[in-house]
Structure 1
Amino acid sequence: MTAAEDQEPGLRARLVEVGVDLVNREGAQALTLREIARRAGVSHGAPRRHFPTHLELLSAIARRGFEALGERAREALGDGSASPREQVAALCRAYLEFALNRPGMYELMFRHDLLKSEHLGLRNTSLPLFGLLVELVGRARPDAADARAVAAALWANLHGIAQLWGWGSLQLATGTEHFDPLLRTALDAHLGPGSGR
């Protein structure tokens, strides 16, 4: 490829698309600049013309993951007519399903080095999802002194379930083949016992 071909207008989007496909197929560890460039059919220096650092390209790929998770969350919540607890449960289930169906993207999305980088803007993509969880937890637990803390503890619980389930540890420890009992227990622990089963 020539330098002119490397700078074509759609190359930035194509690099992100290739990265999304690569992370979904092979995991976060496969996301090297050289491999993304090779699969996009451009020189290995071409990505740097659009993404000056590797972290910026990874951030653009991770942003697509947050957008997909956000869309999945909106679908799970539907028209909002369900009870707050049922909405929290639907959001949590969507989160776990995303994590288990797209483990490479999920891993990339929560890399601390990407999230802490102010100039990469992932906070603007990830925090609204957390804000939605806080809002729903606040409605499901109006007695909670700090809905943000309850939501954070629930999220940490979900993240742990996703990681341990993805590694096969929870199936071995619990003898179950579906995460629903664990999700119900997590919801009961953070929202109080409920009938939304």
Structure 2
Amino acid sequence: MQADEDLRARLIRVGGELIERGGPSAASLREIARSAGVSHGAPRRYFPTHLELLSAIARDGFTHLTAQVSAALVEAPGDPRARLATLARVYLDFAAAHRGRYELMFRHDLLESGHLGLRDVSLPLFQLLTDLVARIRPEPEPPARVVAGALWASLHGIAQLWYWGSLPLATGATDPAALLDATLTAHLGRTA
């Protein structure tokens, strides 16, 4: 059983590495098997479909992002806005450092598939974001969940547009974090 778990973990790791280098399209079942040093049919013992293996890699990405956010929040000040800014910085840093995996993690087909409870590992981060927004702006309208969704969409947009080169070109910014204060102010208002 240990060898099976080791191979399963290796397939996820190797698949993630391929995605990091070449994006989600670089991680076919055959290429993952070849890179892991196993027969092309071996991944199907653990992942009957390519979608299930991609879901496992995405789940692994959410697990790592959550761990990074949790570790950063341990060190963050107790002020909810500062904690939210920390969460946002970690999110943007993760997106920049793990482009392929980040892209994979938010693929609608994977989230909708229900494989490996992918939503179960993605939603706690959103809930944390929502809880921080609710502590910063306790007004009931618009609801914290809606504001958190708009803020998340902005962070996701910054991550994507920065990677594509559009934001540096349009804004002259040299770091995506430069846009973070403006984003937080736009969604949460100015600090007191």
Counterpart in the other structure of 2:70: 74
What is the root-mean-square deviation in Å for CA atoms of aligned residues?
A: 1.5
Residues in 2 aligned to 1:117 and 1:86: alpha-carbon distance in whole angstroms: 35
Counterpart in the other structure of 2:48: 52
Counterpart in the other structure of 2:183: 186
**Normalising by the residue count of structure 2, what TM-score does the alignment of the two structures yield?**
0.93
2:159 partner letter: A
2:82 partner letter: E
Pair 1:11-2:34 in alignment: no
Residues in 1 aligned to 2:146 and 2:47: alpha-carbon distance in whole angstroms: 36
**Kept in 1: contact 2:72–2:87 (CA 8 A):** yes
- 1:141-180 residue pairs with structure 2 within 5 A? 141-145=137-141, 146-180=143-177
* Seq. identity, %: 60
The number of residues matched between the two structures is 189
- 1:34-45 residue pairs with structure 2 within 5 A? 34-45=30-41
Displaced runs of 4 or more, over 3 A: none
What is the deviation of 1:131? 0.5
Residue aligned with 2:175, SS = coil
What is the deviation of 1:9? 4.8
Q: Which structure carries more helix by proportion?
A: 2
**Normalising by the residue count of structure 1, what TM-score does the alignment of the two structures yield?**
0.91
1:187 partner letter: L
Unaligned ranges ≥5, structure 2: none
Unaligned ranges ≥5, structure 1: 1-6
2:164 partner letter: W
What is the deviation of 1:120? 3.3
